[in-house]
């Protein structure tokens, strides 16, 4: 079988539309529920097929015109062809189905997705990939499934307006660089005040010459508040000019009785890419943690204090655990700058950190965790050994979340509420917040 005609039934995790060919599941990228399509079979496995869209025979009413001219080629977005309401419906369905399939989490405890107020122009942190070919600079993102750079024509639809301005300004600067083929990437980020910081990755041999050139182009980059050079791992980042850190604010009164809180992260540090939706994560964690004055809270994978410090301001006594040293430095600095004293930060991975706290005899009413995409499998047993009353799990991957919820269920914890948050509109990625209570 090389071609087939099928109707797309729904969207699947991974971004493709799902239909059936002779009863076998078939995944087809860039399709929408309701589409009738002719496809070329690209991959045939015993249990499923992967197809390439050859012809759209009957378009779904859920389809819209993508605003980006390179959508479908650029690997940055997968769902610009879907109306935003349809995207949210798909994410709610995918999230619920994934949690049931891999964790047996009942659908009645899962709420609909929290939609983003800004489906476009939201991304505050990005890595622009760079290729020099045929005497021309290409700057943009990798083509889907490859390391070929797709040039962004003018602006990226999901990037913050300031980052699109940075993109326009950096093009001629990089084109004039003495070794244009020695810059493979530029990291760009913007704070919620509009200040932008960039890190230029350099793989050439003359760092002094590169530094001198970048130091001389400050006036050509009016939208950039700070420029840094990286010539190896993150530890090699050095400032050329301007600011070292960016920040975002939790508004005054956003959480009950919590004054405005400014959280910063240094160059190369981690932050959520969508500040508006990050506030929804913070709101959700605060609500589910149900902090009371003096309550002991453990925050694993705490980063720059994104959850630790708002919880401390609500009255909790917080211990934050983070393995990455620079993020922990950010957290300590943020606590100091905001006058927060009821927090302690420990550098360790999650499992080691919990073991050390148990040896100290510490106990906690609530454990908050926000692990990377791989989840917290290695830490789940350690968390359960603390026997907290509540666990609030922030996840960026429904599959590893479901796995970990299943493991916590075996340790006596039951999911009582879970809701996805659309942190990444125009893509299939799903962030979420889940509350577990100890049973018995």
Q: Could you tell me if residue 348 is inside a domain? A: yes
Among residues 331, 306, 323, the alpha carbon closest in space to that of 248 is found at 306
Among residues 281, 244, 238, the alpha carbon closest in space to that of 265 is found at 244
Cβ-Cβ contacts under 8 Å for 288 (sequence gap 6 or more): 390, 392, 417, 433, 435
Same-domain pairing of 175 and 218: yes
Same-domain pairing of 179 and 287: no
Residue with tokens 């990437």: 185
Please give the chain's pLDDT, 440 residues, in tens.
699 999 999 999 999 999 999 999 999 999 999 999 999 999 999 999 999 999 999 999 999 999 999 999 999 999 999 999 999 999 999 999 999 999 999 999 999 999 999 999 999 999 999 998 888 999 999 998 888 999 998 899 999 999 999 999 999 999 999 998 999 999 999 999 999 999 999 999 999 999 999 999 999 999 999 999 999 988 899 999 999 999 999 999 999 888 999 999 999 888 999 999 999 999 999 999 999 999 999 999 999 999 999 999 999 999 999 999 999 999 999 999 999 999 999 999 999 999 999 999 999 999 999 999 999 999 999 999 999 999 999 999 999 999 999 999 999 999 999 999 999 999 999 999 999 999 86
Q: Tell me which H or E stretch contains 433.
A: strand 431-438
Same-domain pairing of 45 and 112: no
Residue 270 pLDDT: 86
Residue 1 pLDDT: 62
Domain count, the chain: 3
Instruction: Domain of residue 278: give its range.
Output: 91-117+274-438
CATH number at residue 49: 2.40.50.140
- Report phi then psi at 327, rounded to 5: -65, -40
Spell out the alpha helix ranges (H) of 338-376.
350-360
CATH number at residue 167: 2.40.50.1070
Same-domain pairing of 111 and 148: no
Q: Could you tell me if residue 285 is inside a domain? A: yes
CATH number at residue 391: 3.40.50.150
Q: Could you tell me if residue 111 is inside a domain? A: yes
The rounded Cα 260 to chain-centroid distance in angstroms is 24
- Which residue is catalytic, options 77, 156, 302, 396? 396
pTM: 0.95
Residue 439 pLDDT: 87
How far is the CA of 120 from the CAs of 28, 92, 333, 408, 427, in angstroms?
24, 19, 32, 36, 11
* Residue 334 to residue 254: CA distance in whole angstroms: 18
In tens, the pLDDT along 376-402 reads 999 999 999 999 999 999 999 999 999
Residue 133 pLDDT: 85
Q: Could you tell me if residue 73 is inside a domain? A: no
Residue 362 pLDDT: 96
Q: Could you tell me if residue 70 is inside a domain? A: no
**Dihedral sign for Cα atoms in the order 284, 285, 289, 291:** negative
Residue with tokens 């001389």: 216
Q: DSSP secondary structure string, 114-151?
A: B--S-SSS-B-EEEEEEEEETTEEEEEEEBTTSSPEEE
Same-domain pairing of 232 and 288: no
Same-domain pairing of 303 and 433: yes
**Dihedral sign for Cα atoms in the order 299, 302, 306, 309:** positive
Q: Are 288 and 392 in contact (CB under 8 A)?
A: yes
Q: Could you tell me if residue 328 is inside a domain? A: yes
Q: Are 184 and 133 in contact (CB under 8 A)?
A: no
Q: Could you tell me if residue 266 is inside a domain? A: no
Same-domain pairing of 233 and 305: no
Active site residue 10: no
* Residue 348 to residue 247: CA distance in whole angstroms: 25
Same-domain pairing of 22 and 112: no
Same-domain pairing of 313 and 427: yes
In tens, the pLDDT along 168-190 reads 999 999 999 999 899 999 999 99
Of 63, 78, 99, the residue at which a domain comes to its end is 63
Same-domain pairing of 97 and 132: no
Residue 234 pLDDT: 86
Same-domain pairing of 134 and 211: yes
Among residues 260, 250, 313, the alpha carbon closest in space to that of 283 is found at 250
Same-domain pairing of 107 and 152: no
Among residues 244, 195, 247, 204, the alpha carbon closest in space to that of 223 is found at 195
Residue 53 pLDDT: 96
Q: Could you tell me if residue 176 is inside a domain? A: yes
């Amino acid at each position: 079988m090389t071609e087939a005609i099928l109707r797309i039934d729904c969207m699947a995790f991974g971004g493709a539309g799902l239909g059936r060919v002779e009863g076998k599941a078939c995944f087809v990228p860039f399709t929408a529920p309701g589409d009738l399509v002719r496809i070329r079979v690209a991959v045939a496995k015993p249990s499923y097929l992967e197809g390439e869209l050859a012809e759209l025979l009957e378009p779904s009413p859920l389809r819209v015109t993508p605003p980006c001219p390179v959508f479908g080629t650029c690997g940055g977005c997968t769902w610009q062809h879907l109306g935003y309401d349809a995207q949210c419906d798909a994410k709610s369905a995918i999230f619920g189905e994934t949690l049931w399939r891999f964790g047996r989490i009942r659908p009645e405890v899962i709420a609909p997705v929290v939609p983003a107020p800004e489906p476009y122009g939201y991304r505050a942190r990005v890595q622009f990939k760079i290729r020099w070919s045929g005497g021309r600079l290409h700057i943009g993102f990798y083509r889907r499934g490859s390391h070929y750079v797709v040039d962004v024509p003018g602006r990226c639809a999901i990037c913050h307006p300031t980052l699109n301005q940075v993109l326009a300004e950096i093009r001629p600067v990089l084109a004039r660089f003495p070794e244009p083929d020695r810059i493979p990437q530029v990291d760009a980020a913007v704070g919620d005040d509009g200040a932008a910081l960039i890190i230029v990755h350099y793989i050439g041999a003359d760092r002094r010459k590169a530094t001198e050139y970048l130091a001389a182009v400050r006036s050509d980059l009016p939208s950039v508040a700070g420029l840094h050079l990286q010539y190896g791992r993150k530890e090699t980042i050095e400032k050329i000019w301007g600011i070292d850190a960016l920040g975002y604010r939790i508004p005054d009164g956003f959480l009950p009785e919590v004054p405005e809180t400014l959280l910063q992260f240094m160059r190369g540090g981690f932050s959520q890419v969508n500040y508006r939706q990050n506030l929804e994560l913070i709101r959700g964690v605060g609500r589910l943690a149900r902090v009371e004055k003096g309550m002991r809270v453990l925050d694993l994978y705490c980063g720059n204090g994104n959850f630790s410090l708002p919880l401390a301001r609500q009255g909790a006594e917080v211990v934050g655990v983070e393995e990455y040293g620079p993020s922990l430095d950010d957290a300590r600095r943020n606590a100091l700058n905001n006058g927060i004293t009821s927090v302690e930060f420990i550098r360790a991975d999650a499992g080691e950190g919990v073991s050390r706290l148990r040896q100290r005899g510490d106990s906690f009413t609530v454990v908050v965790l926000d692990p990377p995409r791989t989840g917290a499998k290695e830490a789940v047993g350690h968390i359960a050994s603390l026997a907290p009353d509540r666990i609030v799990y922030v996840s960026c991957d429904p599959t590893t979340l479901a796995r970990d919820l299943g493991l916590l269920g075996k340790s006596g914890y039951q999911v009582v509420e879970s809701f996805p948050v659309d942190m990444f509109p125009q893509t299939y990625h799903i962030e979420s917040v889940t509350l577990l209570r100890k049973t018995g």
